[in-house]
Amino acid sequence: MAQPKQSTASACKSFEEDLVLFHYGDLDDAARGALEKHIAGCTSCADYLEELATLLPLTVKADEPPQEFWSNYNRELRHKLDIALERKHGWRRFAALFQFPLLPTFATAAVITLALGLTLGRGIWTSRNNVQDDELAEALPVAENLDFFRTMDVLDDLDLLEAMGTQGNDAS
> How many Cα atoms occupy the beta-carbon half-sphere of 115 within 13 Å?
6
128 pLDDT higher than 90: no
Return the percentage of the chain with pLDDT > 90, whole number.
Answer: 7
Phi, psi of 10 (to 5 degrees): -130, 140
Show the DSSP H helices in the chain as ranges: 16-24, 29-41, 43-59, 67-96, 103-144, 146-171
Which pLDDT band holds residue 132 (cuts at 50, 70, 90)?
low
What is the tens place of the pLDDT at every residue in 18-41? 888 888 888 888 888 888 888 888
- The angle that helices 29-41 and 16-24 make with each other, rounded to 10 degrees, is 120
Instruction: Answer whether 52's CB lies under 8 Å from 23's CB.
Output: yes
Single pTM value for the model: 0.34
* 55: CB partners within 8 A, 6+ apart: 4, 7
